[in-house]
Structure 1
Amino acid sequence: MTPPTAPASAALRHLRDASVRVLLTNWTGGSTVPSGNLYPHQWSWDSAFIAIGLRHLSPRRAQRELETLFGAQWDDGRVPHIVFNPAIPLDAYFPSPDFWRSGTAGREAGAPRGIETSGLVQPPVHALAAWLVHEYDPQTSSRRGFLRRLYPRLTAWHDYLAVHRDLAGHGLAAVVHPWEPGMDNSPCWDTPLSRIVPAPASSFRRADLAHGAAADRPTDLDYGRYVRLAAGYRDRRYRDGGAPHPFAVEDPGFNALYIVSEHALASIAEALGEDPRPHRARARALTTALVERLWDPQAGMFLCHDIGTGTLIPERSVTGLLPLLVPGLPTGIAEALLRTVTGDHFGLGSTTALVPSYDLRGPAYDSARYWRGPAWFNVNWAIERGLRQYGAVPEADALKRAVLVSAGASGFAEYVDPRTGRARGTTDFSWTAAAVLDLLATTPEGTA
């Protein structure tokens, strides 16, 4: 693999202009869609990553992104993974609002009135995003009361995870559907999903295949299982505690982002004159649980835990590298993660310029198919940040260059082949553009 060459100053200015164009095009007036065709609504963790990039374009718009999302928060504290735009036809995306039925099935859990949402959640990146948005322009943030209004909502969101999603009783948040950790089609879910009887193909219509190649997307079999799980959760009225969960997994990436956002909540609390100690205590407890339950020294990384069987899932996914974001990991664990990300299984700096979403040597590796091998820009943004935190500065610098080069060359692709950089999925993808804007802000030539 030939390392990517850092773009020249003029190229970086062009890259910034192009990323701004993507975000302006995908802005709907209150939030940003991930993509104009494939994902025409607001997605939860997308909006968090988008806000992090948007702050360099418009701090107020970045604040609005998060405010719009939290305007759809449920009374139990959950932040739904999709907030639907009522102007979009039902057949433009599946599952659509008439599948989720949040206004009726979600009534007991406090789904908002007058706003249609899903009932699932996504990784809690939001407090981190809110803090970064505030830090970029604290004057505008304070004048608008941004943190003061969002803080209780963010706290309620984290309380929901602590109270309702600690399904194993050991402190970590569990996901109840492959869509919740965001890495929908990861091979980590193959074994838990194998226990799920798929919904009949005649019971749903895949709108995603109208905008993406079938080879890039989940199979019909997997999609049928996704539908069955989502319908079952809906029919149980989105109850968590005391309800049967045929799919329940503790995911290291989800919990790493939870920990990082809990640290961010501590910073937000301090800025508001509130007590940061409960947030720091929860972050410490979560970190301890993450290490005790999900660290596998033989794999040299964190693994997912299948609550149904009480066992670690042996698949190596990039989700197990995301704890590099967590401050204060034991030294031996941080060093092992750095070896793993640059080793044979992920190949960063040797066989790949970007971190793949799945083990290069794994039996299910597929460089094209959704979360089964391709590199994603939001994840590589997070890995770059984690590498830098643990002193791997040359590796972080090289990864930053690779993200910038690959994002521009691929037309801001949703994801790319980690070896060749070939675009996969859709293009003009919002969090790809947002990652570029954020990385450019710490690239001297990018500010020219």
Structure 2
Amino acid sequence: MSGPDASVPEVSVPELSVPELSPPATQALACLREADRSALSSALAEGLAATGAGFAAVGGPLQERWGQALADLDACLRKQRGVTVLHEGGAYDGAWVESTGTISAEVLSRFAPQAAADTFALFAEHQRDDGLIPYKVTRDGPVFSQIQMVTPLARSVWTHHRLHTESTAWLRRMYEAMSAHDAWLAAHRDTRGTGAVEAFCTFDAGHDLSPRFWFAPDRCLGGEASRCDPEAPGMPYIAPDLTANVACQRTYLAQIAEELGEDPTPWRAAAAASGEALFAHCWDAVDAAFYDLDAAGQPVRVLSDVQLRVMACEIGDDDLFAEVLRRHLFATSRFLSHYGLTSLAMDDPRFDGDHTRNSWAGPVNMLTMIRAPHAFEHHGRPAELAVLLKPVLTALAVADRYPQCLDPWSGEAGYTSRYSPAALWLLDAVERICGILPMPSGGFAVTSLAPTRLEHGAAAEAVAASRRLGGVAWEAVSDDTGTVLLRDGAEHLRIPRGWRAELTEDGTLTAVVGVAPRPVTGRLTGPGAPGAPDGAAGGGELTLAPDERVRWAEGVVVGRGGPTFIAPRA
């Protein structure tokens, strides 16, 4: 496919025949089925129709805020050269490769696939003849004054392709563009021959106002990304986030090459070399942290959200992620504020939590938050992710806009409004805690953590979410006790609160995962429930620890395990 088709037939959903639903849950399901998308543009409305994505809430502000997220997202979908592409929104006119063209388009892919595909392609279309991909594209054209990379483009492209099976021509076009960009980086951003990637300026990392780049220029010399100002003290940096980006990028380019019938081996070798350079030059084993290495060979000891960026690039094993999580990301003296992950460690004397401006010197940035789930999910930690998401969901549920920054102390909305990463974060978070989440590996996940326990008046009484997958209309109806999954309107599976169920596209259960911060005992029931672990018929009782995964194959348990839960610590 190449995108949603306005002629996608509506799936007939019969009236609910499950009397056990609570009255609020029944009302939420009715609201879900009566959703009006007539005010949205054709690009978003057709995307929602094709994917079947929907959400409704009874009680609290979430219903209105989900609708506002769609409206703000719709305002950020702009026509360029005859196609609809995503713009960053807020104070930012255009599409940035660090965000709009990668993680934001990756999330958008689940709601408006064609707009996501065209947003990715925007950067290939405007690539320079020497291979450099623009750091942003506006209606006036591409801009090349820095590289500004964070989320690996190849990962986002591959995720989109696996969700929607894009045409080979589209995938090859993106592959060739990313391959040429990789060659440009190797030629121009490794002046010391280390095999790593260098930052020449602050905006290469998009770290505006961060102490990480004090005394560095904002942009590359003369507005040209291949030039580093020789008068800038300490520059260039060997940058861990840029090096991790390329390592991850090459790993996914190997997968794309294999999909296109090419040899993936050179890309895998290149990815391994990038990873080795990252640890050789940027890793501090004593601090369990990644630092820039300046031109004099000295580490720049500023603890920033670089730690999360590297982890989101799939660097290291589960043990490394656990160490970084324990010592930094889930330490409330470092990065874990009550309202999200800060952009600078809070125990750094240079920390500045001012959320009223575009700053990476301290406040919670919604770009950090939309990038975070991949790191947690990749390392099998949905329970910790749920802990992180819920207060931020509360903050955005009671906010008056979708901002770039949040106050770490109060959750108050700060700089700018109608910011597409923030709107997309809410859509993504809802699917991760109480919706139907399509998985790039195939199938989908349904998490039973209805937002019924949010604070500050944000809690709902019940929620309902929908998706169309493989021609089947799926609906998940949740209240404080659990979730009922409906298949074409009929009960398929009941999931206890605190569990996530993973299913194939046809509804066969493959795993359940503990997503609460404590063990939860319960049972799966309904036509989609497998046999109990002891082989008995029906849904047997299970106790799932946080992050514990129980896997089934043909109705039989074939594996059980998971990491030890890491709670927030002072």
Alignment correspondent of 1:201: none
Write out aligned runs for 1:22-421 (5 A). 22-30=72-80, 31-36=85-90, 38-47=91-100, 48-86=102-140, 115-123=141-149, 125-138=152-165, 141-142=166-167, 145-190=169-214, 192-193=215-216, 225-226=217-218, 229-230=219-220, 232-234=221-223, 238-240=225-227, 244=230, 246=232, 247-306=235-294, 308-327=295-314, 329-330=316-317, 333-339=320-326, 340-348=328-336, 351-368=337-354, 370-410=359-399, 411-421=401-411
Which structure has the higher relative contact order (CA within 8 Å, separation 6+)? 1
SS at match of 2:202: coil
Q: Which amino acid in the other structure matches residue 393 of structure 1?
A: P
Change (3 A) 1:233 1:437: same
Contact preservation (8 Å) 2:94, 2:138: yes
Deviation at 1:432, TM superposition (A): 1.7
CA distance in 2, matches of 1:419, 1:150: 41
Q: Which amino acid in the other structure matches residue 146 of structure 1?
A: W
Contact preservation (8 Å) 1:251, 1:304: yes
CA distance in 2, matches of 1:401, 1:377: 14
Deviation at 1:409, TM superposition (A): 3.4
CA distance in 2, matches of 1:403, 1:175: 31
Deviation at 1:335, TM superposition (A): 2.9
Deviation at 1:261, TM superposition (A): 2.4
For 1:357-380, what per-residue CA distance to the aligned partner results, in whole angstroms no more than 9, with x for missing partners? 001011111111500111122222
Change (3 A) 1:174 1:417: same
1:439 to 408, 429, 440: 429
Change (3 A) 1:435 1:323: same
CA distance in 1, matches of 2:247, 2:385: 21
Change (3 A) 1:392 1:441: closer
Change (3 A) 1:21 1:59: same
Contact preservation (8 Å) 2:402, 2:418: yes
Contact preservation (8 Å) 1:54, 1:62: yes
Q: Whose strand proportion is higher, 1 or 2?
A: 2
Change (3 A) 1:46 1:384: closer
SS at match of 1:83: strand
Q: Whose helix proportion is higher, 1 or 2?
A: 1
Alignment correspondent of 2:549: none
Q: Considering only CA atoms, is the larger Rg found in Structure 1 or Structure 2?
A: 2
Question: After TM superposition, which residue ranges in structure 1, 4 or more long, deviate above 6 angstroms?
Answer: none
For 1:376-403, what per-residue CA distance to the aligned partner results, in whole angstroms no more than 9, with x for missing partners? 2222233332123234332112123344
Deviation at 1:332, TM superposition (A): 5.1
Contact preservation (8 Å) 2:339, 2:364: no
Alignment correspondent of 1:428: 418
Structure 1: tracts of 5 or more residues without a match: 1-6, 87-114, 194-224
CA distance in 1, matches of 2:189, 2:86: 28
Structure 2: tracts of 5 or more residues without a match: 1-54, 436-464, 467-475, 477-570
Contact preservation (8 Å) 2:148, 2:205: yes
Change (3 A) 1:136 1:437: farther
CA distance in 2, matches of 1:407, 1:256: 30
Deviation at 1:129, TM superposition (A): 1.4
CA distance in 2, matches of 1:251, 1:440: 33
Alignment correspondent of 2:498: none
CA distance in 2, matches of 1:32, 1:163: 30
Deviation at 1:238, TM superposition (A): 4.8
Q: Percent identical across equivalent pairs? A: 24
SS at match of 1:29: strand
SS at match of 1:45: coil
Aligned length: 369
Deviation at 1:262, TM superposition (A): 2.1
Q: Which amino acid in the other structure matches residue 437 of structure 1?
A: L
Contact preservation (8 Å) 1:360, 1:373: yes
Q: Which amino acid in the other structure matches residue 41 of structure 1?
A: G
Change (3 A) 1:405 1:271: farther
For 1:8-50, what per-residue CA distance to the aligned partner results, in whole angstroms no more than 9, with x for missing partners? 84465544432222221011113222125x2122222222222
- What TM-score do you get using the length of structure 1 for normalisation? 0.75
For 1:334-358, what per-residue CA distance to the aligned partner results, in whole angstroms no more than 9, with x for missing partners? 332011211244252xx42311000
- What TM-score do you get using the length of structure 2 for normalisation? 0.60
Alignment correspondent of 2:69: 19
Change (3 A) 1:132 1:116: closer
CA distance in 1, matches of 2:425, 2:269: 30
Contact preservation (8 Å) 2:124, 2:173: no
SS at match of 2:86: coil
CA distance in 2, matches of 1:18, 1:184: 28
Deviation at 1:267, TM superposition (A): 2.0
